[in-house]
A and B are shown apart, each in its own frame.
Chain A
Amino acid sequence: MSGGMLYGGDEIGALVFDPGHHSLRVGYAQEDTPKAEIPAVVGVAPDDVKLEPEVKPEDGNVATNQPSYKYYIDTAYLHTPRPNMELHNYMKDGMIENWDLFEKILDYSYEKIIQSESQYHPVLFSESPWNQRQKREKLTEIMFEKYKVPAFFLVKNAALAAFANGRATALVIDSGATHTSAVPVLDGYVISNAVVKSPLGGDYLVLRAREMLEAAGIDLTPASLIASKDVIRDKDKPRFVKKKLSFQTTNSWMSYMIKKTVQDFQQTVLQVAENPYDERQVANIPSVHYEFPTGYHQDFGPERFKLAEGLFDHAMLGAGYIAATSAGMCDVDIRPALYSSVVVTGGNSLVQGFSDRLSRDLSSRSPGSMRLKMIAANGTVERRFGAWVGGSILASIGTFQQMWVSIQEYQEGGKSQIDRKCP
């Protein structure tokens, strides 16, 4: 009741979880940023290998539920090379796939991030708009049975992103790691039959960038394998010393680390051209300098635009196209409302020039008389954690407190009611 009736807020110590392909966002409701962003990747290594002296049994991050495996969670532990550590992503297609690993992450979150016991905090989870019924029920079951949460709720992340931008009705363009989706939200309800998604997301850009860099013969050794490096001149062959490791790193770890390296390159260098890619036009724009972990550095000119163009040049999959398609599938009466608040969210939308280009593409596809308004939060945090921020707002609103599925209700009605109670 600290906010009082004036702001309509009533904070009840709820937690907000926003699982994504790239990371899981965890934090307390009513805060403006998540407490932690944990990569959606878990390292699994056999327990009997004890070559790493710094990993001690009392190390809290190591959850040892199963005796024969150790689980490595969070950036600092993942980025250290370890023998036989295979990395697994527990997400698939925007939904939780590997529940065992996901539980490990939840254990870690409660223990290390929240540092409080789960039975005291109601939990709000976000989910993708196309989440399946049995997955929702499974998650409900885990939260109530294993974590004994007092109350639980599931909301579509697109609706949360719309809330975070102050809209109840919006066309949410969410460009994340694995895909870009256009989701119409009406009065806080997702219109599930009009959701359109395309597989062009951050990962696709990373893949293209990696192909390009490898074709150019650039060494992508990640920073955690480099012991020292020398300062060299532009485009010179890099001189660096690799760390001496007594073991072979696993393929999954290497590809994850290379992905991280390329991701940094992508976030620093790439830019979406305002107009469809044109070699001559782009040639005039100043190039960007980038140094790789190996010490190699060079200027990147037209490549920046050529790579980023991949997000838009596919006729059927570009962000503007899917947005227009999605709006076109909705009832004609609500289309003006959707077009007048197009919310852009997701980490991949932070690629330079993304929203400008999207706006341009969409206006060329939207009906001429329609008023088009793009809403893209300026801050990096607001854009990357849009759904989490929306969840944080929602869970701390006084009128929302009647919506929770409480543990009493769960015990009476079972998990199947989640589909009814959480639209």
Chain B
Amino acid sequence: MADVRDIMELERPPTPEITRESILGADKVKKRISTGPKVPKRPEGMHREVYALLYNDTKDAPPLFPTDSIRNNGYKQTKIKLGMRKPRKWAWIPFTNPARTDNATFYHWRRPSDEPKEYPFAKFNKKVDLPSYTDVEYQQHLKCDGWTKEETDHLIDLAQRFDLRFIIMADRYDTEKYSKRSVEDLKDRFYKICGILAKLSGEKKIYTYDAEHERRRKEQLKKLQERKPEQIEEEQFLLGELKKIEARKKERERKTQDLQKLISQADNQNETPRKIDKKLPKKKIANPSRPSRVDTNHILQVIETAGIKFPDYKNSGVSLRSQRMKLPTNLGQKKSKGIEQILQELGLELNPTPTEEVCLHFNELRSDIVLLMEIKAALSTCEFELQSLRHQYEALNPGKTLTIPPQLLSGNSESEIKVASGEIIDVVGSPGTPSNT
């Protein structure tokens, strides 16, 4: 940037000079340098002509070589002094390690100025706590067939030396004196001793070690690891086949379900030949205030299929029974909220313990609740339609009043109460609900 300014003959901004003081951050000195215009002074002993070659009035040419004056020790000063402090010395100092028991002295480099403190690595000297026992204790409690006291001592000694690395302990086991023992044998004996001693000292929590189980586990692991590539391939192949079979099974199930649906639909159509297409009530939504004709068929149909259809659990494998109590996801939030509310009114739990019986009854109950809600909704729809027809009639025939037979209005007083619950499921407000099967 400075070069560009030079070429463009622009004024050079005062660049802060890098000096020893500026590096060290002595503010006072820095200020003095930056403020005062620096007037180079002719060093003592330098000829004026020589000095003039280096400096002129414009002061643009920087010096090409060091210009320390002789007074400041001139050209003789060779060392750069960067820090103000003296370097701290290092020394080859003896130390003892508290982790050692023999007070051996070693030497290392350290600053003598540092406080002599405990050897910092000594704190990493960790040892495992091992059970210890006296002869009497051994005779009374720890006797075991197949283990002598000497061998047990050897085991504890190895555990101490190798910090309970049982695999190494088994490797370094004294096979000349004692018979060879497996890792499980060692663990079994060791943990038994631990358990007995813990019991004696009154500890409540006692860990047990199941050597047989360990052995079986290792045997299985070994078998698993020692599979040949062909065996692994075969296994992969079989797993693939299993997946295919499962997929086919599912496909078949889906098809049978479809078929059943078709059959039931066909049955329904036979029963109600005047069944109106489902689109029809939806069209009515567009103009709900003018229902052209009484249509109760679809309402009836709704009631027929109402209730919760809990899915059958046909999946192979294990499942929780509480899964069977789960509401189907297609139920809708309004209905599930309604169920919740009624259950609360009845003072029932939302998630009872799913025993077989409870499961069955609970599902039935909720199915009935939904049915009830739908029936109520259908009823209010019917009444609404009835009322609107009455208004139509009165509008078309002024002066006449249509008397509705009382049996049709039987639930009038009751329905008003029911509306409260009906509103929760919000079927009254939207006549489209009947299509919401």
**Residues of A bordering B, CB below 8 Å:** 1-2, 5, 8, 10-13, 120, 122, 150-151, 186-187, 189, 191-194, 330-335, 367-370, 398-399, 401-402, 404, 406-409, 412, 420, 423
Contacts and interface: CB of A to CB of B under 8 A. Distances in A.
Most buried by A among B105, B108, B122: B108
B103 interface: yes
A12 B171 contact: no
Nearest to A1: B110
Given A189-B162, A192-B171, A151 B106 contact: yes
Contacts of A399: 121, 124-125
Contact of A332 (B104, B108, B170, B221): B221
A332 B120 contact: no
A367 B106 contact: no
Most buried by A among B106, B222, B227: B106
B124 A150 contact: no
B283 interface: no
B205 to A, nearest CB: 25
Given A2-B108, A150-B105, 17 more contacts: A13-B108, A150-B106, A186-B165, A186-B167, A186-B168, A187-B165, A189-B165, A189-B171, A194-B171, A331-B170, A333-B167, A333-B218, A333-B221, A367-B227, A399-B121, A406-B100, A408-B104
Nearest to B173: A193
Interface string B103-118: 1111111100010000
Contacts of B221: 332-333
Contacts of A407: 104
Contacts of A10: 108, 121
Contacts of A1: 108-110, 114, 120
Contacts of B171: 189, 191-194
A188 to B, nearest CB: 9
Contact of A370 (B99, B114, B170, B225): B225
Contact of B168 (A8, A12, A189, A398): A189
A423 B158 CA distance: 11
Given A192-B172, A401-B121, A369 B225 contact: yes
Interface in B76-127: 90, 92, 97, 99-100, 102-110, 114, 119-122, 124-125
Interface residues of B, number: 40
Nearest to B231: A368
Contacts of B121: 8, 10, 398-399, 401-402
B327 to A, nearest CB: 42
B106 A12 contact: yes
Contact of A368 (B100, B103, B107, B227): B227
A107 to B, nearest CB: 24
A407 B106 CA distance: 11
A192 B174 CA distance: 12
A109 B108 CA distance: 23
Contacts of B106: 12, 122, 150-151, 401, 404
A334 B183 CA distance: 12
16 contacts: A11-B108, A13-B92, A120-B107, A187-B165, A192-B171, A194-B171, A333-B221, A335-B225, A369-B227, A370-B225, A401-B119, A401-B121, A402-B99, A402-B100, A408-B103, A409-B102
B186 to A, nearest CB: 12
List 6 tightest A-B contacts by C-beta distance, closest first: A406-B104, A398-B121, A402-B99, A367-B225, A12-B106, A189-B168
Nearest to B101: A409
A404 B100 CA distance: 9
Contacts of B125: 399, 402
Contacts of B226: 367
Of the listed residues A2, A193, A401, A409, the one surrounded by the most CB atoms of chain B closer than 10 A to its CB is A401
A399 B99 CA distance: 9
Contacts of A2: 90, 108-109
Interface in B40-92: 90, 92
Interface in B396-432: none
Contacts of B168: 186-187, 189, 191, 423
A404 B107 CA distance: 13
A127 to B, nearest CB: 16
A331 B183 contact: yes
B16 interface: no
A406 B222 CA distance: 44
Contacts of A334: 167
Interface string B162-194: 100101101110000000000100000000000
A162 B103 CA distance: 31
B171 to A, nearest CB: 5
A332 B222 contact: yes
B172 A404 contact: no
B182 to A, nearest CB: 9
Contact of B108 (A12, A406, A423): A12
Interface string B192-228: 0000000000000000000000000010011011111
Nearest to A339: B225
Contacts of B372: none
B238 interface: no
Contacts of A189: 162, 165, 168, 171
Contact of B232 (A186, A194, A368, A406): A368
Nearest to A336: B225
A161 to B, nearest CB: 18
A191 B167 CA distance: 8
B161 interface: yes
B379 to A, nearest CB: 65
Contacts of B227: 367-369
B146 interface: no
Interface string B321-344: 000000000000000000000000
Contacts of B122: 402
A402 B118 CA distance: 13
B153 to A, nearest CB: 14
B14 interface: no
B36 interface: no
Contacts of A367: 225-227
